[in-house]
C-alpha cells in the first residue's frame, strides 16, 4: 500500500492546517502535484483532478485517500468537481508546443476552474520561466517578464505568463484570495523511491553517456527546491493569498549551478559529467527568495542533502533493475 512520502519531518507552521480542509489539486499525477497531494492527504480531504492516463499513479493516490476525478482541463468540463471548497492548487500544465492548445489549457482553463470551484483560496503554480533571460542576475518578483524557455519549449513561457494574467483577473473579478507562486527547479524522490525532476533527467543523460547541454553564460545558476519543501510551504502560501493576488518566487534558499549539481550527482553515482555549450537550452534563472521566506520561512532541505537523496534513489533503482534482470 502506498504511504506518505516524508516521515513528518516537515511540520506545518501555518494555522491553515489547524483543522481539516477540502483541497482540490489539478494535474495531480504530475511529478510535483502527486507528492503534494500525498503529503496533504495526511490531514485533509484531497480531491485530485487529471486525465488519469497513468493508472498506477491513480492507484497510488487513491491508496493515500485522495479522491480522483477524471477531468480534462482542455475542455474545461468540471463534471463532478465540487465548488465552494477551501482551496484549489493549480499544478496542471500542458506542453504540447501548439499555441492554440497550450494557451487554452494553461490560461483559459485556469480562469474557468476558478469560476467553477469558487474556493476560499487559490494557489496557482507558475514558473520562473516567465522571466526574461538574465544570466546570473538575481531576479525578484518585479523583474522583466520574457521568454527564457523559447530555445526548447516555444509556447511554455508565454502560456505561463498568459495564465498568470488570467488568474490575476479572475482573482479580482471573483474576489478569490490568490497566490501565484513562480516555481524554480523542483526535484526530489517520488512515492516509489524514484528520482524526480530536471536533475533526475540529467542523471539519466549521464548514465547514457550524453553531454549535458549548458548555455555559454556560465555558471548556469538556479535555486532548486525539494519536493518536501514544496509540500510543506503550501499552507503558508494559502494563508498569504490576497486580492489582488500575492506573487512570489517559489524556490530553494540556496543558489547552485547546474554544472555543480551534475558533478555532485556524477561523483556520488560513479558517473561522468560532461557538458556541451549550446544555444538550444535553458540558461540559468536564479531568484530572490526573500518574499517567500518572509511568508513560509527558509527551505529546510539543503541542496547537498536533497541531491544526495536523489542520487541514492537512483542507485537503489539501479540495484533493483540489476536484480530483476540478473545482472
Model pLDDT, residue 18: 77
> With a cut of 50, which residues of the chain have pLDDT below it?
1-13, 319-327
Which tens digit of pLDDT belongs to each residue from 151-187? 999 999 999 999 999 999 999 999 999 999 999 999 9
Q: In this predicted model, what pLDDT tens digit does every residue of 188-234 receive, in sequence order?
A: 999 999 999 999 999 999 999 999 999 999 999 999 999 999 999 99
Identify the pLDDT of residue 19.
Answer: 87
User: 3-class DSSP state for residue 189?
Assistant: strand
Return phi, psi of residue 139, to 5°: -105, 125
pLDDT at 326 (0 to 100): 33
Q: CA geometry: angle at 295 spanning 289 and 296, to 5°?
A: 80
Share of the chain above pLDDT 70, in %: 93
Distance CA 136, CA 75 (A): 40
Contacts of 153 (CB under 8 A, 6+ apart): 95, 97
Say how far apart CA 213 and CA 204 lie, in whole Å. Answer: 13
Strands 22-26 and 195-197: unpaired
Domain extent listing, the chain: 19-191+224-253
CA–CA gap between residue 175 and residue 211 (Å, rounded): 49
- The predicted pLDDT at position 14 comes to 59
DSSP per residue, 32-96? THHHHHHHHTTTSEEEEEE----HHHHHHHHHTT-EEEE--TTTT--TT--SS-SEEEE------
* Whole-number Å distance between alpha carbons of 238 and 284: 28
In the DSSP assignment, the letter for residue 103 is: H
Q: Which CATH number fits domain 19-191+224-253: 3.40.640.10, 2.40.10.10, 3.40.50.720, 3.40.718.10?
A: 3.40.50.720
Enter the C-alpha cell of residue 192: 516509489
Count CA within 13 A, CB hemisphere, residue 140: 4
- Asked if residues 93 and 106 have their Cβ atoms less than 8 Å apart, the reply is yes
Cα–Cα dist 40/101, whole Å = 30
Residues 6+ apart with CB under 8 A from 179: 121, 122, 123, 124, 237, 238, 240, 241, 242, 245, 246, 247, 248
pTM of structure: 0.93
Amino acid at each position: 500500500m502506498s504511504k506518505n512520502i516524508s516521515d513528518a519531518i516537515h511540520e506545518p507552521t501555518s494555522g491553515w492546517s489547524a483543522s481539516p480542509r477540502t483541497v482540490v489539486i489539478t494535474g495531480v499525477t504530475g511529478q510535483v502535484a502527486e507528492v503534494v497531494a500525498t503529503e496533504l492527504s495526511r490531514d485533509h480531504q484531497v480531491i485530485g483532478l487529471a486525465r488519469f492516463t497513468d493508472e498506477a499513479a491513480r492507484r497510488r493516490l487513491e491508496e493515500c485517500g485522495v479522491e480522483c476525478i477524471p477531468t480534462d482541463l482542455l475542455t474545461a468540463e468540471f463534471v463532478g468537481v465540487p465548488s465552494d471548497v477551501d482551496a484549489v492548487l493549480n499544478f496542471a500544465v500542458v506542453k504540447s508546443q501548439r499555441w492554440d492548445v497550450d494557451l487554452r489549457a494553461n490560461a483559459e482553463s485556469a480562469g474557468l476552474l476558478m469560476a467553477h470551484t469558487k474556493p476560499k483560496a487559490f494557489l496557482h503554480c507558475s514558473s520562473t520561466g516567465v522571466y526574461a533571460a538574465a544570466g546570473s542576475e538575481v531576479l525578484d518578483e518585479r523583474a522583466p517578464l520574457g521568454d527564457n524557455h523559447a530555445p526548447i519549449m516555444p509556447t511554455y513561457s508565454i502560456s505561463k505568463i498568459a495564465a498568470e494574467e488570467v488568474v490575476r483577473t479572475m482573482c479580482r473579478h471573483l474576489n478569490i484570495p490568490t497566490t501565484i507562486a513562480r516555481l524554480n527547479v523542483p526535484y526530489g524522490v517520488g512515492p516509489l523511491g524514484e528520482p524526480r525532476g530536471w536533475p533526475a533527467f540529467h542523471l539519466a543523460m549521464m548514465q547514457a553517456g550524453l553531454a549535458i547541454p549548458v548555455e555559454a553564460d556560465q555558471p548556469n545558476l538556479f535555486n532548486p527546491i525539494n519536493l518536501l519543501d514544496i509540500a510543506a510551504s503550501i499552507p503558508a502560501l494559502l494563508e498569504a493569498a490576497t486580492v489582488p493576488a500575492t506573487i512570489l518566487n517559489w524556490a530553494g534558499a540556496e543558489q547552485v549551478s547546474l554544472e555543480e549539481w551534475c558533478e555532485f550527482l556524477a561523483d556520488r553515482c560513479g558517473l561522468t559529467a560532461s557538458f556541451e555549450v549550446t544555444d538550444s537550452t535553458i540558461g540559468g534563472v536564479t531568484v530572490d527568495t526573500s518574499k517567500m521566506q518572509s511568508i513560509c520561512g527558509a527551505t529546510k532541505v539543503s541542496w547537498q542533502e536533497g541531491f544526495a537523496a536523489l542520487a541514492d534513489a537512483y542507485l537503489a533503482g539501479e540495484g533493483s533493475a540489476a536484480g530483476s534482470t540478473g545482472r
